[in-house]
Amino acid sequence: MPKGEKKKVVVIGVGFGGLQAIKKLSKEEDLEIIAIDKKNHHLFQPLLYQVATAVLSPADIAIPTRSLIGDKKNVTVYLGEVEKVDIQAKKVTFQGHSESYDYLILAAGAKSGYFGNDHWKKYSIGLKSLKDALSIRTKILTSFEHAELAGDPEVAKKHLNYVIIGGGPTGVELAGSIAELSHEIVRNEFHTIDPALAKITLIEASPRLLAAFAPKLSEFAKMRLEKRGVEVLTGTKVLEIDQNGVKIEGRTIASSTVIWAAGVQANSIGASLGAPTDRMGRVMVDEFCNIEGHPEVFVIGDIANYSKGLERPLPGVSPVAMQQGRYVASLIRGDLKSKKRKPFHYLDKGSMATIGRQDAVAQVGNFRLRGFFGWFVWLFIHIFYQVGFKNKISIFITWVWSYITFRAEARLIQDEVEASSVGSSTPN
């Protein structure tokens, strides 16, 4: 590369993968980096459920993108949604603006996927963004208020029915946290109703919860959730979601609050590359995280299907995205020095899910943890990987306070109540 000539890297998405790539590439003075994201913040998604259940505030798990990378001299940050990627012209178009590139890193993430039943979106809420988390929080908190004013026990009962669809880590964590909120935290704050009568139902289509975990850990999670008052339905398929609730074989579960945690769909911008995609819309990549025929285009994280030499594609979890982000940054830096590329290898650091206070499951290879020790490790790992020192301290203090007092202080309903809306509104 001629002296003084800089290569341009465009990074779409500043989530776990994109952020790791940018941090590593920013150390290379011979690179110009353009970061594009439709959100102005980096989000720590594993703790979204705690915002949804009023344990944490949004600022505890999100940090402005510019405060993370905006001060780096060779990084330019743009707020915008990418409309088109032209891999032949090596150009990205967004917000009426375009940028050419020498290298492209697509790390645009995923959204909730409904397996072809998109009409279910109208009657349920996913959990992939701060907006989703705040919508769920508002839905849960107002359900208590609606029930308090309902006057009719049957109507109140429907308001206090919560259905979570999907028995992966997100579904399990949500179910446990909603049970804790309703059965313990707000129980003495209402006088017409008893929030402890709230019914939480967790539905999973496969035979057990937490399918990626060892069967004994799955069974432990199920047992602990049931002990907290959660009805767990495994091997149960959802047939329909409508204004009345959730229909499964043999019955309908009446509910005002249905949360979708069962599936994801890759960001649609991946399809614009013209490369093959799987049924979830993830872009098929080779052993270097490239699309076929384009060594300058990298696709990583939730939007990528990396399955080279594997029985199944790598899961859409933050450790995969982070490792891929650092890997592709190393490849680009290696290209500048004419180094031979080496295939990506994922180091599985294990999986974990919290069930509630003093209860979690974790596994790394053949090593298993559950109960209090699993919960303690879960706390440490999530503090360690949180971005930003202020956020680490804020979350730690909040967790300690919540543990001591058994309170959730982020119970704020942002919207004002309109006349005659509380207690008389139609669920969903």
Residues 6+ apart with CB under 8 A from 152: none
Residue type, 135: S
Residue carrying the six token digits 């490792």? 323
Respond yes or no: is residue 173 known to be catalytic.
Answer: yes
Q: Report the distance separating Cα 223 and Cα 225, nearest Å.
A: 6
Q: How far is CA 62 from CA 66, 118, 357, 395, in A?
A: 12, 28, 23, 11
Taking alpha carbons only, the member of 374, 314, 403 closest to residue 172 is 374
Structure tokens at 239: 């047939």
Q: Please state, as a whole number, how many other Cβ atoms lie within 10 Å of the Cβ of residue 415.
A: 8
What is the SS3 assignment for 359? strand
Name the residue among 307, 303, 300 with its Cα closest to residue 321: 300
Element (H, E) at 82: strand 82-86
User: In terms of Cα–Cα distance, which of 160, 112, 115 is closest to 132?
Assistant: 112
Backbone angles phi, psi at 258, to 5 degrees: -115, 125
Terminal Cα distance for the chain, rounded: 59
**Among 32, 173, 180, 204, which one carries the catalytic annotation?**
173
Q: What are the CA-CA distances from residue 213 to residues 204, 253, 360 (Å)?
A: 15, 28, 12
Residues with catalytic function? 173
